[in-house]
Structure 1
Amino acid sequence: MEYIQKMIRPFTDRSNYYVSQPNSFKRKESKHTHDPQSVLLYIKQIFFTLQTQQNVNMSFLNPNYFSDIQSDLNPEMRAQMIDEVHKLCTAHKAQRRTFHQTIYLLDVYLSTNRIFTAQIDSIYKTCYFVASKYEEIYPSPLWRYTYDRDEMQEIFQIEKELLSLLDFKLVTASSYVWLNYYWTIINIAEKTSNWLTYSLLLLDVAVYNINIIKYEPSKIACASLYTSAIMLNIQMNWNSFASQFGLHFQHEIKEISNLIMITLKDSVNQKREIVKHMQLQKEKELF
């Protein structure tokens, strides 16, 4: 545990890949009236909208797609695709929201379409291509990460299939969106800003575990808060805290928290792309 904490302690949101992340919130609505999601008046409406959208998103996912559909793929290949997505996000300075949207689109496509190993590059590039066009103000053009004309045509074809599958409904209530929502209503003081940093990191790591996608994103977001609170030794009664702010209770997220910790340890041992990114930032002494 101490080794893992030393690995992630230098990580902050000032890296190229994680841009424009929200600062910790305080109970002063006048400072955030320009942002509808930060106005407490709309909290209930936002919650019900996210809950509805979450149910829609999960209807497109099949947590058992490796055993049901993807006979030529395995979870390690999926993890390698996520590594490549991370590289794209880093190279193009994409938002964290784009990263999580890309992983969701990847799982949706793999849940319904059998693919072969030769298609792996085209699949994850297509998912990033669609996510960046939806989330980014200035999405990276396709020619920046593929130079083959045949691959471009294949990406355009996969894009059509993916959008038709989703009926062009690209709104996603991801765990990242839920974490931002929870952080808004909690209104944490400045001294606990590391809590958000750790929680965001755990969300990024959690996507590597295929078993995570069977859980609701709202529970994954709560589990990241719960796990990071333990790692930071934040003293609290979680159930009382959850009851106060409308989070999931401990018995609902305990299993997810254990999965996140297992995935974090595996990511460090296997030197996943996100871990390499953290080490690079430490070497540059940017923090």
Structure 2
Amino acid sequence: MMPGGENRVAMKGSKRSTAFGPVENESAHVPGLPATKKRVVLGDLTNSNTCSTQNTSLRQTQKPKAKQKPGLKEDGDGDESVDAGFYEEDFTPENSQRSAYAPLIYQHLHSMEAEAKRRPLANYMEKVQNDLTPNMRFVLVDWLVEVAEEYRLVADTLYLAVSHIDRFLSFHTLNRKKLQLLGVSSMLVASKYEEIHPPHVEDFVYITDNTFTKEEVVLMEGELLKFLDFEIGNPTTKTFLRIFTKPAQDDSKFTTLEFEFLCSYLAELSLLDYYCVRFLPSLIAAAAIFLARLIILPKFHPWSIALQQYTGYRPYDLKDCVLAIHEMLFSKSEASMVGDKYQDHKYKQVAKMSPPSEIAAHYFQDV
């Protein structure tokens, strides 16, 4: 019980201090670990509506190295491509027949993402939860972004984990003390599905600074799998971002690694925003591309006939989502791990690019 009688749960494993609570126990010794180990809380989950960060991260802590995946570059190489090899593999002349099925594949994924069982409730915080707030979700997801970076997980794992979290919370009331437990269990399930060498249960116990036991994580994993009926796969924003990126690069200005990283940055910002839960993943991916093109060429219409035909979305369809992500750029990007992550040279420092302060209304009219 924290001072003031409030029940608060601390997320361990990061040096970020937040407005939810001061950083505590900076030199606290964890039983069973060398005294030189230093871990501090990410921040307490409270009803606060603001958050702040320091320029510190999980990478500064001492912890066991997770297994590196084949083909991944070390941090700092700078030329690490988004999903390197995706287009090389799928769009070569030898695979032209496969690309002919692209419209059917997209139609299938689009129908899957709209299925009720795969969708979270747009208002689950208000309708289902009574001890959680959107800001607590923000803190959890932002911390999971940091965990994914620390363990060098693929982006699909992060997106799938957040999808599982939102769907579970749409039908199960959860105490705030177990929110982080749900987060690491969801990441565990998603990593087993997406990763070649997923982290072990012990790794996720460690990253919470042993706040939860192995047994608790495994039990929550079982509850989540039962809820999902063991149907773990799900189309995510990252799935559609891969599909849309190619037709979005119809101009030499957009055929750069910087553009791909910028799209990924905007899409990850949408993960933090509870408001974006209401949008389909394909719509969020299209909105990220819309906004990325606008940031790079602010004087030109960011949408095109080709993109409209390929995605099935008109500019007006994207308006609410684009404006939501645009607002995140100004309100939460600097106070998040996502912002810190994409300021790195490895990601071409796309988080430092200046978005337009306003988006002209005529950009949302039909092309």
For normalisation by structure 1, the TM-score amounts to 0.82
What amino acid is aligned across from residue 171 of structure 1 in structure 2?
G
Contact 1:206 1:212 in 2 (8 A): yes
For 1:40, the aligned partner's letter is S
Specify which of 230, 234, 250 is matched with residue 172 of structure 1.
234
Are 1:198 and 2:265 an aligned pair?
no
CA-to-aligned-CA distance 1:208-240 (integer Å, 9 cap, x gap): 111111111111111111111111116346252
**Larger gyration radius, structure 1 or structure 2:** 2
Q: Secondary structure at the match of 2:156?
A: helix
Aligned residues: 269
Task: Show the 5 A alignment for 1:26-37.
Answer: 29-30=91-92, 33=95
Conserved? CA contact 1:122–1:151, under 8 Å: no
Matched, 1:248 2:310: no
Aligned equivalent of 1:79 = 138
Alpha-carbon distance in structure 1 between the residues aligned to 2:347 and 2:314: 40
Aligned: 1:274 with 2:338: yes
- Output the CA distance in 2 between the equivalents of 1:196 and 1:32: 25
Q: Distance in 2 between matches of 1:258 and 1:203?
A: 13
Shift in CA distance, 32/136, structure 1 to aligned 2, threshold 3 Å: farther
Could you tell me which runs of 5 or more consecutive residues in structure 1 were left unpaired when the two chains were aligned: 1-12
Pick aligned residue for 2:174 from 111, 115, 125: 115
Per the TM alignment, residue 241 of structure 1 is displaced from its structure 2 partner at its CA by: 3.4
Residues 72 and 115, structure 1, Cα contact 8 Å, conserved in 2 = yes
Q: Decide whether aligned partners of structure 1 residues 179 and 20 sit closer, same or farther in structure 2, where only a CA change above 3 A counts.
A: closer
* In 2: Cα distance, 1:19 partner to 1:184 partner: 14
User: In structure 2, what residue type is equivalent to 1:245?
Assistant: Y
Closer, same or farther in 2 for the Cα pair 1:135/1:24, shift >3 Å?
A: closer
The one-character-per-residue Cα deviations of 1:152-182 (angstroms, maximum 9, x if unpaired) are 2222122112111111111211111011112
Code of the residue aligned with 1:258 in structure 2: it is L
* Aligned amino acid, residue 76 of structure 1: N
Inter-partner Cα distance in structure 2 for 1:141 and 1:167: 22
Q: Say whether the 8 Å CA contact 1:40–1:185 is kept in structure 2.
A: no
Q: Which runs of 5+ in 2 are unaligned?
A: 1-71, 351-367
* Structure 1 runs (4+) greater than 6 angstroms displaced: 283-287
Counterpart AA for 1:143: E
Q: Which residue of 2 aligns with 1:152?
A: 214
Q: Which residue of the other structure, out of 140, 147, 156, is the alignment partner of 1:88?
A: 147
In the alignment, the residues of structure 1 paired with residue 349 and residue 74 of structure 2 have an alpha-carbon distance, to the nearest angstrom, of 8
More helix by share: 1
**Superposed displacement of residue 14, structure 1:** 7.4
* Percent pairwise identity: 18
- Asked whether the 8 Å contact 2:122–2:278 carries over to 1, the reply is yes
Q: 1:65 to 1:284 in 2, by over 3 A?
A: closer
C-alpha RMSD of the superposition: 3.2
Task: Note if contact 1:61-1:107 (Cα within 8 Å) is conserved in structure 2.
Answer: yes
Residue in 2 aligned with 1:7? none
Q: Distance in 2 between matches of 1:285 and 1:178?
A: 22
| Shift of residue 142, structure 1, vs aligned partner | 1.4
- Structure 1 residue corresponding to 2:83, chosen from 16, 21, 25: 21
**C-alpha distance in 1, partners of 2:320/2:347?**
36
Distance 2:341 2:261 in 1: 15
Q: Kindly indicate whether the alpha-carbon contact (under 8 Å) linking 2:261 and 2:348 is maintained by their aligned counterparts in 1.
A: no
Q: Distance in 1 between matches of 2:309 and 2:85?
A: 22
SS in 1 for 2:205: coil
- In 2, the alpha carbon distance for the partners of 1:233 and 1:186 equals 13
Shift in alpha-carbon separation, 1:168–1:261, aligned structure 2, 3 A: same
Partner Cα separation in structure 2 for residue 78 and residue 156 of structure 1 = 22
User: Who is 2:297 aligned against?
Assistant: 233
